Amino acid sequence: MKRLFTTFLIVLSICSIAHATLGRIKGLGVNQIFYNDDQLTDIFPHYLSQYMNNAYIDGYYSSYNGYQYSGGLNFRLLGSNFGIYINKDFPVQFEYQYAKLEKAINIYIAKEGFGLGLDIAMDHYNSNFEPPGESLVETTFGVGGKMGYEMSGFDVSVQMHFATGISTHENFNEKKDNALILKLAARKEMLKTQKYVLYPAIQIVMETHETSLSYPTQPVHKNKISSSKLSAYPGIGLNYRINNNILVIAAASCGVVLTKTTRSAKDEVNKGTREGNFTKFILPKVELGLETYLTKWFTFRAGIKKTFYYDSEKYVLSKDAESKLSYLDSDFSYSFGIGLQFGKYSIDWQIYDDLLWNAPFIVTGKESRFASSLSMKFCFK
pLDDT digits (tens, 9 = 90+) for 285-294: 999 999 999 9
Q: What pLDDT score was predicted for residue 365?
A: 45
Q: Of all residues in the chain, what percent carry a pLDDT higher than 70? A: 84
The whole-number average pLDDT for the span 165-170 is 91
Q: What pLDDT score was predicted for residue 83?
A: 96
Q: With the C-alpha atoms ordered 100, 102, 103, 105, is the resulting torsion angle positive or negative? A: positive
Identify the H or E element spanning 123: strand 114-126
Q: Are strands 173-188 and 196-215 parallel, antiparallel or unpaired?
A: antiparallel
* DSSP helix, strand, coil percent of the chain (3-state; round to 5): 10, 65, 25
Among 109-123, 208-222, 326-340, 363-377, the minimum mean pLDDT is found in 363-377
Q: What pLDDT score was predicted for residue 106?
A: 96
d(CA 337, CA 348): 7
Query: Who contacts 50 (Cβ-Cβ below 8 Å, separation ≥6)?
Result: 36
d(CA 67, CA 4): 7
> What is the band of 164 on the pLDDT scale with cuts at 50, 70, 90?
very high
Among 25-34, 145-154, 265-274, the minimum mean pLDDT is found in 265-274
Q: What pLDDT score was predicted for residue 357?
A: 55
Q: What pTM was computed for the model?
A: 0.86
pLDDT digits (tens, 9 = 90+) for 36-47: 988 899 999 999
Evaluate if residue 7 carries a pLDDT over 50.
no
| Per-residue burial over 185-196, b = 16 or more CB atoms within 10 Å of its CB, e = otherwise | bbbebeeeeeee
Kindly write down the DSSP assignment for every residue of 154-173, as one continuous string: EEEEEEEEEEEEEEEETTTE
**Average pLDDT for the chain:** 86
User: Which of 308, 297, 287, 375 lies closest to 341, judged by CA?
Assistant: 297
> What is the band of 332 on the pLDDT scale with cuts at 50, 70, 90?
very high
